[in-house]
Chains A and B, each alone.
Chain A
Amino acid sequence: MSDYMIEFAKVNKWYGNHFHVLRDIDLQVRRGERIVICGPSGSGKSTLIRCINRLEAHQQGTVTVDGLELSDDVKVLHEVRRKVGMVFQQFNLFPHLTVLENLTLAPIHVNKLPKAEAEERAMLQLQRVQIAEQAHKYPLQLSGGQQQRVAIARTLCLTPQILLFDEPTSALDPEMIKEVLDVMTELAEQGITMLCVTHEMGFAKSVADRVIFMDQGQIVEENNPHDFFNRPRSERTQAFLAKILAH
Chain B
Amino acid sequence: MNWLRSNLFNNVFNSSVTVLLGTLLLYALTQAWGWAIGQAVWVADAEQCHAARGTGACWGVVAEKYRIIIFGRYPFEEQWRPLLATLLLMALLLASCMRVFWQRWFAAVWVVVLTVFFILMHGGVLGLATVTTDQWGGLPLTILLASMSVLGAFPLGILLALGRMSDLPVIRSLCTVYIELIRGVPLISVLFMASFLFPLFMPEGTSIDVLVRVLVAMVLFAAAYLAEVIRGGLQAIPRGQYEAAVSLGMGYWLMQRKIILPQALATVVPGIMNNFISTFKDTSLVTIVSLYELTGSLDLAVNSDPDWMAYKLEGYLFIALIYFVFCFSLSRYSQWVERQVNRGKVH
Contact = CB atoms under 8 A, between A and B. Distances in A.
Contacts of A92: 238, 240-241, 243-244
B342 to A, nearest CB: 10
| 4 closest residue pairs by CB, A with B | A92-B244, A92-B240, A106-B248, A138-B344
Interface residues of B, number: 23
Contact of A85 (B241, B246, B247, B345): B247
Interface string B326-347: 0000000000000001011110
Using C-beta atoms within 8 Å of the partner chain, give the interface range for chain A: 20 to 34
Interface stretch (A93-101, A125-133, A224-232): A93-101
Contact of A141 (B241, B254, B346): B346
Contacts of A86: 243-244, 247
B251 interface: yes
Contacts of A109: 250, 254, 258
Interface of B: 238, 240-241, 243-251, 254, 258-259, 262-263, 266, 341, 343-346
A81 B266 contact: no
Given A109-B250, A138-B344, 7 more contacts: A53-B246, A78-B249, A94-B263, A106-B248, A106-B249, A151-B244, A154-B248
Interface string A124-168: 000000000000001111000000000100110010000000000
A93 B248 CA distance: 11
Contacts of B258: 105, 109
A180 interface: no
A170 interface: no
A88 interface: yes
B250 A94 contact: no
Contacts of B266: 96
A78 B240 CA distance: 18
A44 to B, nearest CB: 17
B243 A110 contact: no
A94 B241 contact: yes
Contacts of B249: 78, 81-82, 106, 110-111, 158
